[in-house]
Chains A and B, each alone.
Chain A
Amino acid sequence: MKKANRGNLPAMILLFFLMVLWQLGAMKINAAYILPSPLQILSRLWELRQVLFTVHLPATMGVTALGLAISVVLGVLLALVMDASPLCRKTLYPLVVASQTIPTTAIAPLFVLWFGYGIWSKVLVTVLITFFPITITVYDGLQSARIEMAELLLSYGATGRDVFFKIKVPCTLPYFFSAIKMAVPLSIIGAAIGEWLGAQSGLGYFSRRMMTQLDGAGVFAPIVLLSAVAMLAVAVISVVEKKVVRWRGEI
Chain B
Amino acid sequence: MNVLTFDHVSCRYPGQGTDIVDRLSFEVKPGSFHCILGVSGCGKSTLFRMISGLMSPEKGSIYVNGKPVCGHGSYCGYMPQKDMLFPWRSVGENLALPLEIQRKLGKKEQRQQVEAALAEVGLAGCADKRPDELSGGMRQRAAFARTMLTGSDLLLLDEPFSALDFLTRISMQEWLLAQWRKTDKTILFITHDVEEALFLSSSVLVVEHTPIRALREIPVPMDFPRSRKDLARPEIIDLREELIGMLRKQVAE
Contacts and interface: CB of A to CB of B under 8 A. Distances in A.
Q: Do A and B bind each other?
A: yes
Interface in A10-59: none
Interface in A148-173: 148-149, 151-158, 162, 166-167, 170-171, 173
Interface residues of B toward A: which range? 20 to 34
A80 to B, nearest CB: 19
A156 B87 contact: no
Judged by DSSP, the binding face of A is helix
Given A154-B53, A251-B87, A148 B101 contact: no
Nearest to B72: A154
B78 interface: yes
Interface size band for A: 20 to 34
Interface in A191-233: none
B84 interface: yes
Given A151-B54, A166-B97, A247-B88, A157 B82 contact: no
* Chain B contact surface mostly: loop
A3 interface: no
Contacts of B52: 155
Contact of B53 (A155, A167, A246): A155
Interface in B46-97: 49, 52-54, 72-76, 78, 80, 82, 84, 86-89, 97
Given A151-B80, A166-B97, A156 B88 contact: no
A157 B72 CA distance: 6
Nearest to A148: B80
B117 to A, nearest CB: 14
A36 B196 CA distance: 77
A158 B101 contact: yes
17 contacts: A148-B82, A148-B84, A149-B84, A152-B84, A154-B53, A155-B54, A155-B72, A155-B75, A156-B101, A157-B102, A158-B72, A162-B100, A166-B86, A166-B100, A245-B88, A246-B88, A251-B87
Closest 9 CB pairs of A and B: A157-B74, A155-B78, A155-B52, A170-B88, A156-B98, A247-B87, A156-B101, A154-B72, A158-B101
